[in-house]
Copies of this chain bind each other. A is one copy, B any other.
């Protein structure tokens, strides 16, 4: 009998002794980080709302209770009863019964109503029909991304259960190492922006944090070295993804191509957005004439292996590692990944990308942790002069720029990341238009911006609470304002828009030598009445950065594979107040008010100058031990 089986036998005995005698325990298994208890008496279980919570406290595990199949009402009868139990206003749109696990997935417009106060309605459902309800939100804006992911996971349920069981046994394996140490290997994003990737390793466990590409170069993290995949992809215990942007996520599917078969821990919205962005990435690679590093099939593998975690939930991901994700304020579902290692041995937090203050979309990044000795901190705007304008100022300037451009009949083109900044700008534009600060005019959302927006509205828990309320207020969803429309078509449609009446265009910026933005440069670029407004960080070496720096003869792809040069006559502005990244002040404030203050800070994900400035600034200001690691280096902390 393996040590995990022994452990489960012992847990079963302990659970039996903790539960009232009339509740049977037919089986106890691990599914991923969760302990699953099968019972023939789900209704009795449901009667006592505290039983599960108490058990979880005693066993110090996350617990799920599932009905043994014998305890289930037939689906058709159950469906009827569930419809009766759930109040009408919940807006149930789908019920989906899974006999293998005794779960019923309830999709509804208002999940809160399905859940009921403190879960009362859910418990009532189980009491009535035996099934375990799981609630998901019906996307307020239809999202093919979300429905594709949900359909796919439904179809792969059996596979997924096997994955979860294997992962669960792996997490709860007996600890074998007889030494304790903690180290971090830098696979990318050191003294550069992009290709974020780190290995956090202990004597027992190896965890990959992020695996992104380097925008504008196609460079990958150093995956071939022994510390990464050299010893085989399956020598990794876990992958943790801070957020969906490609500079953090693009190469996650590649791990599965290399034989990795373990979990990706991330938030639910990041899982969905990651799929959306990765598929687009493959598309772009193909269009650029490069051979994509993996197939769409591998994106599905990554999604199948994703284990969603909510902010604040402490999750066992290895015998000696607990992971907690915290809001990073940077993009939908973006997280700071906090690792608690050993039993109080060490704590490391990876910031991913952060925004310290609140934005229209998100609360500011969390910087309050039970313990943290080392912080791996993004430094995009870490340079000594990298102070951004207040968003208010930038908004005022944007309004002026739009009015000016509108008055002279031009088009305002804003290249921006489809996930995060686009939605922030939509909120700005919707308000400005509603309040009459800018004239009513069409706002064209190009590429995947619309789809990304739909995903945002599916996960309002991850948005600021006032925004969440607005999305669910009937006519009030700002993302559904009349001005917004999706660009539907190719180069011709974009030319019509660029040459037509005054308009605003939000276009994904990820690609600047081909893709939508090229069309906009070609058609609006030569028009001196039009205007290009940068609102995102433009990485060194990208076309965006070069245009910011004054390049006006812009080499682009003509859409049929040839290269041409566009003469930019449009105005070029940079408004940095909309950034999803903390500026230098924000990074300092994040550290200054961080609780507890870390002993060591590794400055990463900023160019050479930015990390050096931030590192020496934090050292002099707060007397922390700060470092500017190089790629391929390994730091030991314990």
Contacts and interface: CB of A to CB of B under 8 A. Distances in A.
Interface of A: 181, 183, 185, 201, 206, 225-227, 230-232, 235, 630-636
B632 A181 contact: yes
A633 B636 contact: yes
Which 6 pairs from chain A and chain B are nearest by CB? A634-B634, A230-B231, A226-B226, A226-B231, A630-B636, A231-B231
A516 to B, nearest CB: 32
Contacts of A226: 206, 226-227, 230-231, 235
B183 A632 contact: yes
A346 to B, nearest CB: 13
A633 B632 contact: no
Nearest to A637: B630
Nearest to A185: B634
A632 to B, nearest CB: 5
Contacts of A185: 634
Nearest to A629: B636
Given A631-B636, A633-B636, 5 more contacts: A183-B633, A225-B227, A226-B235, A231-B232, A633-B633
Contacts of A181: 632
Contacts of A633: 183, 633-636
When all copies of this chain in the complex are counted, the total is: 2
B632 A632 contact: no
A631 B183 CA distance: 10
A619 to B, nearest CB: 17
Among A201, A633, A634: residue with most chain B CB under 10 A: A634
A580 to B, nearest CB: 30
A244 B181 CA distance: 30
A206 B634 CA distance: 16
Contacts of A231: 226, 230-232
Nearest to A177: B224
Contact of A230 (B183, B230, B631, B632): B230
11 contacts: A181-B632, A183-B633, A225-B227, A226-B231, A227-B634, A230-B230, A632-B634, A632-B636, A633-B633, A633-B634, A633-B636
Among A206, A225, A635: residue with most chain B CB under 10 A: A225
Nearest to A199: B226
Contacts of A631: 636
Contacts of A632: 181, 183, 634, 636
A224 to B, nearest CB: 9
A20 B184 CA distance: 60
Among A185, A226, A636: residue with most chain B CB under 10 A: A226
A246 B633 CA distance: 29
A635 B206 CA distance: 20
A226 B226 CA distance: 5
Contacts of A235: 226, 230
A392 B225 CA distance: 51
Among A181, A185, A632: residue with most chain B CB under 10 A: A632
A225 B201 CA distance: 10
Nearest to A206: B226
